[in-house]
Structure 1
Amino acid sequence: MRGLLQGIWRRGRTRWAVLSLALVVLAAGAAVARSVARGDQLSQNRAQLKEACQGLLPQERLRRHLPEDAAGTAEEYGTLLDPDQESRALLDCRLSWGGAARVWVRAEALGERRFQTPADDASEIAGYAVEDERGGGSEGRFPFRLPASATGTVQRGEVRGGTSAVASLLVSCPKGLKGRTGATRDLQVAVGLPVEGRLSEEDRMLAARTAVSYANWITSRQRCGTPRLPVDAPAPQPAKALCAWLDPKELGLAAGRWTRSAARPYSDWSGRCSARRDDEATPRRLAITAVRAKSLAGVLGREQSRARRALEGGPDTAADGSRTVIGAGDPYTFDLWAQSTCDGGRVYHHVALTPELVYDEQKSAVLSKADVDTLSAGARTVMERYLAAADGWPATSHCRGAKMLEDAR
């Protein structure tokens, strides 16, 4: 009996051993199958990345973002791909994994309509005018040297829950662009690439280089007369002479210590100068403590015109000409616009003065008609000096026939 029981025990142990081995083999096989499936999916994602967006995306850098367990989705359209297509875009390409937009490229011939990108909420127009007006900071500036016929920015953008390096370029095409917007010379190219955390210099350079590659591809296909943009030429230093005219002492602004911006390198598209008083001593009432001046051409000028019309209401004006200013939000500015014809066509000029005001307990300040006249005269003085400065942007752009659009407000 004892021998019989030992035999049964040995046979049972053998069966369990065989069963366990079989389970191990099955588990290993499933793991191998999953590994092969992941490898196949990753290979498919890499092949998709290589072909997407006309093959101009930075392959090596983007491979680190490719998932092993999710298929990519690519959408691509535009009149450059299908000339008979009803699309405003010359090229629109989006590549995502798992439903989150990670890579996008859009190029459009700009007409009267403002160009929109997913990062527009962070800028005045598709990434432009992000310069710190208070001190002329370098945030957003394009890292490569561009000809005067082009201007660009690179900034951090939040797009559908992800962080992107957003590079935008505006390029002038002398021979015009073919698109649904009608005759236009304004080309905009915008690129968004995924980044992790803060926007590094490497991220900025990569996004800028990618945007330049697409701009060159499009202008070559369109044969619009634009020379190829350089891909790696370092950005030039700011052209200080463009803002030399903005001298607080000569303009009779508030006494004290001032910080002036260094102008961006000259561009046909825009010019900007700013200065802000950073002295701790309190200036007298109505003394000017900050000045901004800018000129915008092309589509940027059209946006400036819209901004001017949006402010036509101004502060509350009484029958006697006095104005009530509510001290909430940004400091009150006294604005004046002018228009002239320059090398880049119609250009809008804008001057904004920030006066020292005294607010009551209701956070309001009253400007008498005499106060308004004083500020208006000051704004005109700044505008006239800006337009006449030999080294300023208007003179460099050969602006002529300047006309004040309306009284300052």
Structure 2
Amino acid sequence: MPGTGAPRAARRRIWLVSGLVALAVIASSVTWLVVSRAEDREERLAANQRQLARACAGLLPAELGAFVPDDKPGVLDEFGTMLRPREESRALLDCTLSWGGGGDAWEPDARARVRAEAVLTRTTGPALDGSFGLPLPDSALGAVSTDDRLTGSAVSASLLADCPKGLTGRVRPSRDLLVTVDLPSAADDEYDVPRADRLLASRTAVRVADWVAKKQGCGGRPLKAGAAAPAKAAKLCSWLSPKALRLAPGEWKSDRNAATYSRRTGVCGGRLDDSSPAEELAVKAVGAQSWSGVLAGGAYDSHRGGSHVPVPGDRAEAGKPVTIQESGDDPLLALWARSRCAAGPTYHRVTVTPQIGFTDGPQSGTTVLEPRERRQLSRKARAVLDRYLVAPDGWPRRAHCRDTKVMGEVAQWRG
């Protein structure tokens, strides 16, 4: 029909313009939504970073910012008498900050925790393995360990420090401060945790200990100052001479020797190299360890739980043959003693491990220890203890131990 072309063209132009306007509105909305979400993420990230800086009395390291998410809020749980005065708590400080997880997740994506508490009587102290990585005075003891998580890994530091003027906030004062720190690591597993992450945990533990000591006014110089260089342990175990003690001849290697001197605990050990054959009942391994102060009770309780502490007057098997059953662990004889040393009441434990061959006959996997052989092992254990106690550079002398009393033996073999 004539004259219809122009209206149709006009309608097409209207539809086109309307479509372009709609597209522009949609694009604008999408852009606004993207910008809005980006701003929300930036605000969330900033809020989480502020939370990290304030949490746990500001004691968490800034390096944890790498774990702070921009899509979920951090979850903070903190308590303790030094965070909330007059609160009844075993801890001076106990604070956990975590990110992610929730719902059906087994654990958060990342978690940091610091805890400080006054030790009243006994505890299991950090391992004396040199893992702490920072110099400490001989009154302090620290160690670092690692662990796997579902995502990444974690690094933990423990630190036992001295507060000469005492800590308050418990039923009675204590001069022993125990700090534990758990931090996340981006390493794929515990064996790949870098040294920087381990040192970060150690530095955080020192920071917490110094903060608590300063706030409590409990005395002692700051650990971070590094004023007291650690005593060298090079000669701590030089007393352990296989030749002087008439142990199994051959090549010996050290076993768990202390890396530095600590007046809280010491450890020495030696073992015959596997390539060196030993005669029957020759001593092929020797160990000596001491625990002092609050570590003494914890160590004794730990061994008592396995029935590995002496029972007064129990020498029933010393005068008769004993059948020993092969169990997978080397049979050994332990000798215990107690003293008073620089850090307080102390337990000493020395062990001798004999070479024992088990039969292949009718009573497979057994051997018989005669009374004279048992007495021979007792003499070896006493010789090790005596030499350990009087060695000029050994732990007992360095720790000024006195009033030593022998407590008794423990035969750690399965009859």
Q: Please say whether Structure 1 and Structure 2 have the same fold, judged by a TM-score greater than 0.5.
A: yes
Matches within 5 A, 1:161-172: 163-172=153-162
Which residues of 2 match residues 4-403 of structure 1 at below 5 A?
4-59=7-62, 61-99=63-101, 100=108, 102-112=111-121, 114=123, 125=124, 127-129=126-128, 131=129, 138=130, 140=131, 142-158=132-148, 163-197=153-187, 198-231=192-225, 238-260=232-254, 262-312=257-307, 321-360=320-359, 362-403=364-405
Q: Unaligned stretches of 5+ in structure 1?
A: 115-124, 132-137
Confirm or deny: 8 A CA contact 2:137 2:229 kept in the other structure: no
Of the two, which has the highest radius of gyration? Answer: 2
Q: Distance in 1 between matches of 2:254 and 2:45?
A: 52
How far residue 181 of structure 1 moved from its aligned partner, in angstroms, is 4.9
For 1:250, give the aligned amino acid.
Answer: A
More off after superposition, 21-30 vs 11-20 = 11-20
Instruction: Determine the structure 2 residue equivalent to 1:120.
Output: none
With over 3 angstroms needed to count, the CA separation of the structure-2 counterparts of 1:357 and 1:347, relative to structure 1, is same
Please state how far the C-alpha of 1:379 moved relative to its aligned partner. Answer: 1.0
Contact 1:154 / 1:165 at 8 angstroms: preserved in 2? yes
Measured against aligned partners, the alpha-carbon deviations of 1:273-309 in whole angstroms (never above 9, x if no partner) come to: 1111114132112222221111111221111211332
One-letter code aligned to 1:199: V
| Corresponding position of 1:118 | none
CA distance in structure 2 between the partners assigned to 1:275 and 1:394 by the alignment: 18
Give the 3 Å change call, closer, same or farther, for CA 225–234 of structure 1 in structure 2.
Answer: closer
Q: Aligned partners of 1:25, 1:303: CA distance in 2, in Å?
A: 68
Amino acid of the structure 2 residue aligned with 1:246: L
Q: Could you tell me the percent identity over the aligned residues?
A: 39
Q: Which piece of structure 1 moves more, 359-368 or 104-113?
A: 359-368
In structure 2, relative to structure 1, the CA distance for the partners of 1:234 and 1:160 (3 Å cut) is farther
CA deviations 1:25-60 (Å, max 9, x no partner) are 11111111111110110010011011011112211x
Q: For residue 214 of structure 2, give the secondary structure of its aligned residue in structure 1.
A: helix
Asked if the contact 2:125–2:160 (Cα under 8 Å) also holds between the matched residues in 1, the reply is no
User: Take 1:146 and 1:367, find their aligned partners in 2: how far apart are those partners?
Assistant: 46
User: For 1:404, what is the secondary structure of its paired residue?
Assistant: strand
User: When the two structures are superposed, what TM-score results if normalisation uses the length of structure 1?
Assistant: 0.87
Q: What is residue 313 of structure 2 aligned with on the other side?
A: none
8 Å contact from structure 2 (residues 75, 98) kept in 1 = yes
| Structure 2 runs not aligned, ≥5 long | 102-107, 310-315
The offset of 1:330, in angstroms, is 3.8
When the two chains are superposed, the root-mean-square deviation of aligned CA atoms in Å is 2.6
Moved more, 191-200 or 155-164: 155-164
Q: Which amino acid in the other structure matches residue 178 of structure 1?
A: T
Contact 2:96/2:113 (<8 A) preserved = yes
Specify the code of the residue in structure 1 equivalent to 2:162.
Answer: S
Q: Normalized against structure 2, the TM-score is what?
A: 0.86
Contact 2:126 2:160 in 1 (8 A): no
Whether contact under 8 Å (2:137, 2:228) holds in the other structure is no
The CA deviation string for residues 248-272 of structure 1, in whole angstroms up to 9 with x for no partner, is 1111111111112553322111111
* Contact 1:238/1:263 (8 A) holds in 2: no
